[in-house]
Amino acid sequence: MRFFKVCLLFGFLLFLAACGGNDSDLRVARVGGGFWPYPGFGGNLTGAQVGDPGFYIYQSLFVNIRGTDEIIPMLAVSAEHTANTTIVHLRDDVYWNDGVKFTAQDIWTYYYLMNFESSLTFHLLDFVVLDDYSFELILSDPVPSELARQIMITGDWNAVTPYHIFGEFAHRAYEILQSVPLATGDATPGTFGRDLENPDFGLQRSQLRRNVNDYKGVSLDRPIGTGPFMVYRVTNSEMILTQNPYFYDRESLQYDRIHMINVSDFSSLLASNGLDSFVGTLPLDMTRSILDQSGQMVVYLIQETRTVGVLFNHSRDHFSDVQFRQALNFVLDRRNIREVGNYWAVETMFADTGILPSSVERYVSPEVIAKMTVYNTDHARASAMLEELGWTRQGNNWVDPSGNVPSFVIAANAGWGSQGINIAVEVARQLTAFGMPTEAIAVDATVVLESMRDGQFDMLVDFMNQTWNITDPMINLTSSFNTVAENSSLDGNMFNLRDWNGNEIIYVGEHFTTTSARNLVNRLRFIESEEDRQELVDRIVWSLNEFAMAASLFQSVMAIWENAETQEGLPMEHLITPTNRIMPLPQNAQEFRDIAVLNREFAHHGLRFIEGNIRPRVENPEE
């Protein structure tokens, strides 16, 4: 610990030197929004607990640009995969911002200390440090595919727990795990293949949790990371980050500081050009007004990696019938719903594919897409489908086969504010006009999902197809299907899927065979053959769309505000004037990438600043 304090003192002296000079001479990026813990910016400043500044302070082995599935080496140089091992080689020029060298032991610390929080550790038997700049992962059976391994490694923020600070807790976790035997037979393996689900080892589980709590009790004066920036000053409304003097590619940085500003309403700052960058989607009329006042701000639009849809409660009357759910999909006018929910969003034409609508053409074969049902608004088709089920029309309403006029309730998460309830109200209006009386209600965010699962209402406006990093089906399908199924009161283990030929979809693996929908999507990560994986994805996506577990409405679009007066190198600068500064959605992969990098949540670890394409045009007014 004495060594740690000396390192901190030495690093802090260098830090002060790096921050010296006249503030007016510094190149400052003024960034709006974000969260950080305050008052009391202290305590265990690692990982997500640092808040949005962590996007610039920390790095990981690889980084993914969300929505592109591009994986870029960051602290790693390469990854080599064999049948049951993966060897990762690291850069040899990386230092933590307190001046201590970054090595493979730091990554070892992360995976043993945070073993319950990484999906990768549930596929590991061991983590072996080969030397300072390489380590080997020993995989357990069934072994994930090479692509799955790369995706799981990329998804972790695995350089947030320095060994020289937290190593003792990682060693403790290692020793506890070694006291638990490997899972055998039908036992479900826990992290590092250990038999942690066995009640006989409850003590070790408790010890591991206590160890994490002890680690979280360590207080730091500032976050210790390897990223391009580090904390200089913090209040409840602003965070000043300055260059990390040890950053391995410091010469590429076009900015000396990042000034993060957090206020309740950013409208005046945007209108007065008081920001260089801000992520936030506003109504069209407000957006236009702010742009006209500023004269310099530009709005970039980009599709988010999630859709908004209507979840059907399969435990409620009628909603367990697939043809009834299909009919409701044909009732909805998605354009009107999109206009009240997210003006710039992109309407969907499928019910539920389990993957992002924008990913369908990338990951589903063209011949299969051609077979998929397109759910355009078609009241005549919806009526015919209901009549086939025994429904009849009496006056303005539909009567079910039991002779009743059912009325439905659609809920919205009150935490969404006006967006959620506006969508629910419009869906209710459309269903009522079609002859199915529906009431829209707002439900408190803390109980809305539990209430849905308990069967308290028939439908719920919620996110679907959501992924926080990779959009590949092996990730997107798994997370999306499991979440939507659970929130729809549907047990994915209790039903099977059929393809366009009526054949039950079966997964035959080396270790077991399955037909359950949940197991099918979960098995994708173990299929090494691209051809076999593609065939299974095609059949699952087609089947989910026919199953109509939910009604996808639109893929959300977010707005990114950039200041064209203070910055140069912005994407598609030639279109700023012709579009009157509301830029169109990206039309190709390169445009999407260029815009995605603007958003720290799409391109983590300060990639925007590391790549250096966005540069200060003039000195920014600052302090």
The domain that holds 156 is classified in CATH as 3.90.76.10
Contact 146, 85 (CB under 8 A): no
Residue 47 lies in a domain: no
Give SS3 for 309.
strand
Domain identity same for 514 and 420: yes
For residue 328, what pLDDT is reported? 98
User: Which band of pLDDT confidence, cut at 50, 70 and 90, is reported for residue 48?
Assistant: low
Residue 147: which residues within 8 A CB-CB, separation 6 or more? 472, 474
In order of 27, 54, 56, the CA distances from 222 in angstroms are 23, 11, 13
For residue 236, what pLDDT is reported? 86
Residue 51 lies in a domain: no
User: Exposed (0-12), middle (13-18) or buried (19+): which is 486, by Cβ within 10 Å?
Assistant: middle
E strand or H helix at 413: strand 408-413
Residue 455 lies in a domain: yes
| pLDDT at 2 exceeding the cut of 60 | no
Final residue of a structural domain among 216, 239, 266: 216
Domain identity same for 192 and 318: no
pLDDT, tens digit, for every residue of 234-266? 888 999 999 999 999 999 999 999 999 999 899
Residue 225 lies in a domain: no
User: Which band of pLDDT confidence, cut at 50, 70 and 90, is reported for residue 41?
Assistant: low
Distance of alpha carbon 490 from alpha carbon 519, whole angstroms:
14
Domain identity same for 285 and 325: no
pLDDT, tens digit, for every residue of 104-130? 999 999 999 988 889 999 999 999 999
For residue 619, what pLDDT is reported? 56
Mean pLDDT throughout 276-296? 95
Final residue of a structural domain among 216, 251, 285: 216
Domain identity same for 199 and 239: no
Adjacent-strand bridge partners of 562: 277, 298
Domain identity same for 539 and 460: yes
pLDDT, tens digit, for every residue of 588-599? 999 999 999 999
For residue 20, what pLDDT is reported? 46
Domain identity same for 448 and 499: yes
E strand or H helix at 277: strand 277-279
pLDDT, tens digit, for every residue of 432-489? 999 999 999 999 999 999 999 999 999 999 999 888 888 999 889 888 888 888 889 8
User: Which band of pLDDT confidence, cut at 50, 70 and 90, is reported for residue 205?
Assistant: very high
For residue 411, what pLDDT is reported? 97
For residue 37, what pLDDT is reported? 78
pLDDT, tens digit, for every residue of 514-556? 778 888 888 899 999 999 999 999 999 999 999 999 999 999 9
| pLDDT at 61 exceeding the cut of 70 | yes
Give SS3 for 181.
coil
Contact 568, 326 (CB under 8 A): no
For residue 491, what pLDDT is reported? 80
- How large a percentage of the chain has pLDDT more than 70? 93
User: Which band of pLDDT confidence, cut at 50, 70 and 90, is reported for residue 46?
Assistant: confident
Contact 18, 250 (CB under 8 A): no
Domain identity same for 540 and 497: yes
End-to-end CA distance of the chain: 37
Domain identity same for 431 and 503: yes
The pair phi, psi for residue 62, each rounded to 5°, is -135, 155
Final residue of a structural domain among 530, 554, 578: 554
Residue 417 lies in a domain: yes
Helix intervals (H) in 41-199: 54-57, 104-113, 146-155, 163-178
Residue 13 lies in a domain: no
User: Which band of pLDDT confidence, cut at 50, 70 and 90, is reported for residue 305?
Assistant: very high
User: Which band of pLDDT confidence, cut at 50, 70 and 90, is reported for residue 623?
Assistant: very low
User: Exposed (0-12), middle (13-18) or buried (19+): which is 330, by Cβ within 10 Å?
Assistant: buried
pTM: 0.89
Average pLDDT, the chain: 91
Distance of alpha carbon 239 from alpha carbon 231, whole angstroms:
7
Domain identity same for 286 and 419: no
Domain identity same for 357 and 374: yes
| pLDDT at 505 exceeding the cut of 90 | no
Domain identity same for 285 and 207: no
pLDDT, tens digit, for every residue of 181-197? 999 988 889 999 999 99
Residue 24 lies in a domain: no
Residue 404: count of CB within 10 angstroms of its CB? 9
For residue 485, what pLDDT is reported? 87
For residue 511, what pLDDT is reported? 60
Question: What is the total count of domains within the chain?
Answer: 3
For residue 72, what pLDDT is reported? 96
For residue 12, what pLDDT is reported? 41
Domain hosting 600: range is 231-296+564-616
Residue 53 lies in a domain: no
Domain identity same for 249 and 333: no
Residues, the chain, total?
623
CATH code of the domain covering residue 521: 3.10.105.10
Least confident of 85-89, 425-429, 492-496: 492-496
Least confident of 231-235, 347-351, 425-429, 573-577: 231-235
| pLDDT at 102 exceeding the cut of 70 | yes
Among 617, 606, 563, smallest CA distance to 225 is for 606
Tokens of 313: 């409660």
